[in-house]
């Protein structure tokens, strides 16, 4: 019983830490994600060549729209009204 509780506790601590690291990697340009990159990295500046290649591939194939510089809606910008 104690092992199960300890395992559950370890998982609940590890999952948010992993997600936080992923968000940091996306916002710094080390990773590319179709949904989160426009929100976390609106300038689309990539540090990693692989992330840039995946972004350009999605643009060519029409999976994502080209960035619209006029209208920027930030999902995670809580300062906006």
The confidence band for 42, taking pLDDT boundaries of 50, 70 and 90, is: confident
The confidence band for 35, taking pLDDT boundaries of 50, 70 and 90, is: confident
Please determine, for residue 80, whether its predicted confidence score (pLDDT) is greater than 60: no
In the numeric block, which tokens belong to residue 67? 């960035």
SS3 state of residue 68: coil
**10-34 pLDDT, tens digit each:** 666 555 655 667 888 888 888 888 8
The answer to whether 30 and 48 have CB atoms below 8 angstroms apart is: yes
């Amino acid at each position: 019983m104690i092992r199960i509780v300890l395992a559950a506790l370890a998982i609940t601590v590890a999952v948010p830490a992993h997600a936080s690291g992923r968000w940091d990697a996306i916002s710094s340009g080390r990773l590319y994600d179709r949904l989160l990159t426009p929100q976390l990295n609106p300038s689309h500046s990539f540090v990693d060549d692989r992330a840039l290649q995946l972004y350009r591939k999605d643009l060519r194939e029409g999976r994502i729209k080209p960035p619209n510089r006029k209208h920027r809606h930030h999902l995670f910008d809580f300062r906006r009204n």
